[in-house]
Chain A
Amino acid sequence: MKIQQIRRDKDEYMDLLLMADPQRDMIESYLDRSEVFVLVNGGDVCGICVVEPLKNRKCELKSIAIREKDRGKGCARYMLRHICEHYGNQCDTMYAGMCNSRRNIEFFEKCGFINSHIAVNFYPEHYREPVCQDGVRMTDKVYMRKQLDSEISVKKVVDLALEAGRILLKNGAEIFRVDETIVRICNRFHVQYVDTFILSHAIFVSAENGMEEAYTKVKQVPLSSSHLGIVAEVNELSREIEEGLVSIEEASERLRRIDGMPGKKGYFQVLAAGIVSGCFGYLLGASELESMIAFVIGCLLHVWVLTAKKYQMSKMIVNIAGGVIITALALLAYHLPVPGHVKPDGMIIGSIMPLVPGLAFVNAIRDIADSDFLSGTVRMIDALLVFVYIAVGVGITLSIYNNMGGRLML
């Protein structure tokens, strides 16, 4: 669902307007000086809303109507909320006039309107035909009003968008997704002019809505371990925000919860690393027994990775030591009196797999494909270095082994 402002040919939507206000010349009397918004769902216009800006930061909701078959789905509430946010920046109070029926008043009360004043005998004086609703003839026009909170400031919106962007970038999303999410959130909350500059480890956002001064913020995002589940969640959230289902407070609350999402349990990860090693070992030419040993090596390797992560060791140490551990264990298995004959190469290849920097590699390519060359290069170097570290680890161990007189059979 999307809301669009109509600037020309406003009377094209007369059918819809006549649902809310039966007399054509009454509509025409306010249509020209009012602002018209339509609710578009899948290409069809299914609702309309007319607001007249008044003096002294006030405005009046002249008319709101939803197409018959789309009623009862919350379209009107959605539209009204959007309009209130839209006028929140330029007006303090919104009035809405309606005929005195229970249904109308209840609806506006639910949307946060309160009673304001009554125009006595309005309908018989201004309308030629009697105005009826639910079989009752209407006489007085009831006005309700709502304080528009101009809480949705640029600052608040940008902070929310930036937080979403930070979480995405930290957990390994592509640059273009971060950019898209930030712009999407800003536009949804009526901050129209957004400029972003995103690197693999920092976000710069500058935004304004044409009324306040531009607001700029920089956020550093250190490289850290990635959690694609969080990326998927934030993506889902930003989709919902764009559809207008989530308010700004709800969104920041949900972001906070998403950010605190734990990873998979340690033993589960260890097991998974073992399975990766075993499966790929077998796939790349190890025997059944060798795959089994690769499984064990993979598990032990991940225990090391998790420990290193806990003590925040650098990537270099983690991967070089990882390579050393894999090779040493594989050579150990080679010398152990296991039944049958095992060769170390299949085991080593299999066990390398969990260390392979798949995410950095794919992200780098993705960024370069989107012409984010700067971030793409950084991430590509990150990925290549991990490959080199692993190779160094394996190489050191193999050469020590060779020098000690062991002879490898390939």
Chain B
Amino acid sequence: MIHDFIMHVMCPFIGTIGYAVLFNIPKKFYLCCGFTGAAGWLIYHAVVSMNASAVTASFFGTLAVVLTSRVLSVRKKCPIIIFLVSGILPLVPGAGIYYTVYYMVTNQLAEAVLRGMESVKTAFAIVLGIVLVLSIPGGIFQLVSTEKGARQRRG
């Protein structure tokens, strides 16, 4: 249980923050970035454990990441790219690249093609997920945070 928590919550959380540091994202957004990354990975992990393919899981993980980023960017009034860049990282098929190259080098071409295709498919799933959520009109996300917005206006 604790191991699961460390592995699936803390790791993406801290790792995402580390990536945020590399892009010089301001300190005050670290927690939000970590949260975005962890949310994406948790959804990905949940979908994978339901025996879905990695590609499908990446798609749903991306949806979670982009939705979180959009809500956060409206709330914090800052560019969405700040949360999106770091949050998407756990879903990027880094392992796919490695295995593709590995099989290619060790002359297992069939495996290499399989892995390569899967990486490309994952990349497309991510693209699709991002485009899908980005094309939701902004007004809806304004609504999500109106409660807070209204309080600010009054105070």
Cβ of A366: which chain B residues have Cβ within 8 Å of it? 81, 84, 130, 134
A-side interface size class: 35 or more
> Smallest distance from the beta carbon of A319 to chain B beta carbons, Å?
12
Q: B2 within 8 Å of A by Cβ? A: no
Could you tell me the distance between the alpha carbons of A279 and B78 in the complex, rounded to whole angstroms? 27
Q: A293 within 8 Å of B by Cβ? A: no
Could you tell me the distance between the alpha carbons of A380 and B104 in the complex, rounded to whole angstroms? 24
Q: Are A395 and B105 in contact, CB atoms less than 8 angstroms apart? A: yes
Q: Are B23 and A226 in contact, CB atoms less than 8 angstroms apart? A: yes
Q: Mark B65-104, 1 if CB is under 8 A from A, else 0.
A: 0000000000001110110111011101011011111101
Interface of A is mostly: helix
Minimum CB distance partner of B14 in chain A? A279
Q: A365 within 8 Å of B by Cβ? A: yes
Q: Are A284 and B95 in contact, CB atoms less than 8 angstroms apart? A: yes
Question: Given A358-B86, A363-B81, A408-B106, A348–B98 Cβ distance below 8 Å?
Answer: yes
- Tell me the residues in window 251-285 of chain A with beta carbons closer than 8 Å to chain B beta carbons: 263-264, 268-269, 272-276, 278-280, 282-285
> Smallest distance from the beta carbon of B14 to chain A beta carbons, Å?
5
Interface of B is mostly: helix
Q: B52 within 8 Å of A by Cβ? A: no
Q: Are B24 and A229 in contact, CB atoms less than 8 angstroms apart? A: yes
Question: Given A275-B15, A276-B22, A410-B102, A352–B89 Cβ distance below 8 Å?
Answer: no
Minimum CB distance partner of A239 in chain B? B77
Q: Are A273 and B153 in contact, CB atoms less than 8 angstroms apart? A: no
Cβ of B82: which chain A residues have Cβ within 8 Å of it? 228, 231-232
Cβ of A4: which chain B residues have Cβ within 8 Å of it? none
> Smallest distance from the beta carbon of B18 to chain A beta carbons, Å?
4
Could you tell me the distance between the alpha carbons of A229 and B99 in the complex, rounded to whole angstroms? 34
Q: A183 within 8 Å of B by Cβ? A: no
Interface hub of A284, A365, A398, A399 (most chain B Cβ within 10 A) = A365
Could you tell me the distance between the alpha carbons of A362 and B82 in the complex, rounded to whole angstroms? 10
Question: Given A280-B15, A349-B98, A408-B102, A369–B131 Cβ distance below 8 Å?
Answer: yes
Question: Which stretch (A61-69, A146-154, A172-180, A194-202) binds chain B?
Answer: A172-180
Cβ of A408: which chain B residues have Cβ within 8 Å of it? 102, 106
Q: Mark B101-122, 1 if CB is under 8 A from A, else 0.
A: 1101110000000000000000
Q: A354 within 8 Å of B by Cβ? A: yes
Q: B12 within 8 Å of A by Cβ? A: yes
Minimum CB distance partner of A360 in chain B? B85
Question: Given A236-B78, A283-B41, A391-B97, A358–B89 Cβ distance below 8 Å?
Answer: yes
**Can you spell out 14 A-B residue pairs with CB atoms less than 8 angstroms apart?**
A42-B153, A227-B23, A229-B26, A232-B25, A264-B21, A283-B7, A284-B94, A353-B89, A353-B92, A356-B92, A361-B92, A369-B134, A369-B135, A398-B105
Closest 7 CB pairs of A and B: A279-B15, A272-B21, A275-B18, A276-B18, A272-B18, A398-B105, A227-B24
